[in-house]
Amino acid sequence: MITAVITGASSGLGKEYINAIIAQYPTVDVFWLVARRKDLLKEIAEEHPDKTIAAISLDLTKPESLPIFEQLLKENNPEIKVLINNAGYGKGSDFFSSNHEAQLGMIDLNCRALTGLLRLCLPYMLDDSLVLNIASIAAFAPTPRMSVYCATKAYVLALSKALHSELAPRGIKVTAVCPGPMDTEFWQVANVTEGKSRLIDKLPRVSPQAVAVGSLRAAKRGKMVYTKGFLYKFYHVLSKIVPHGFLMQFTEI
């Protein structure tokens, strides 16, 4: 059966991708939803009784998670049409005073798990299938006080661009999705709640629903990088022509 795999699917942008895929890919019958919070995944499954939804409770920061997922692939042999690599988190803090486990955890989840899961899924992906790797506008230039997060998202952006070219002959389209700030749980996890960052408080929010719908359409058209909103598209261009040392004077969290 035609399958979509979504990581970080229990809330926020990941959850929005479910409805976007249902609307744009009605042939997708099965959803593999991967997240830590199985209770939320079960609630999502109840909202879509006409679809077969597998609630896969995995903490992708754990080394044992990828072998478990690999075994699920071997046992079920899914025909994957859409892969959304959405799982990830950020932390806003000075690098020197930060929790080192949280910093390493970002690398584990945002880079290692994304890379490993993508590689495991590729043999099961159909022709004319999609991979959407969720990066961030933070990938465009370093941001002081979110140094590791920016570095991980720069990795996701670079990996996605290379695979966009490398996997094209197989009929697999790869898109790096680089949204601006969204009203999701991200900011609570990052410890950058309202009032803690003048910059973040001033920046316009992007709708997670609009990002999911727009990025899926862009990926179908073969777009390599997707960013929503004029301001963030302008920042993308600016980051290519203005020295990052200058930009960082205005982007500290």
Q: What residues are labeled active site?
A: 149
Q: Contact at 8 Å (CB) between 88 and 115?
A: no
Q: Contact at 8 Å (CB) between 152 and 102?
A: no
Q: Tell me, rounded to whole angstroms, the distance of Cα 111 from its chain centroid.
A: 11
What residues pair up with 57 in beta bridges, in sequence order? Answer: 35
N- to C-terminal Cα distance for the chain? 45
**Quick one: residue 183, left, alpha or beta (phi over 0 = left, psi -120 to 50 = alpha)?**
beta
Burial call 90-124: b when 16+ CB within 10 Å, e when fewer = bbbbeeeeeeeebbeebbbbbbbbbbbbbebbbeb
| H-assigned helices in the chain | 12-24, 38-47, 65-76, 100-107, 114-121, 147-166, 186-190, 198-202, 208-220, 230-241, 244-247
Q: Contact at 8 Å (CB) between 69 and 85?
A: no
Residues in the chain: 253
Q: How far apart are CA 93 and CA 88, in angstroms?
A: 17
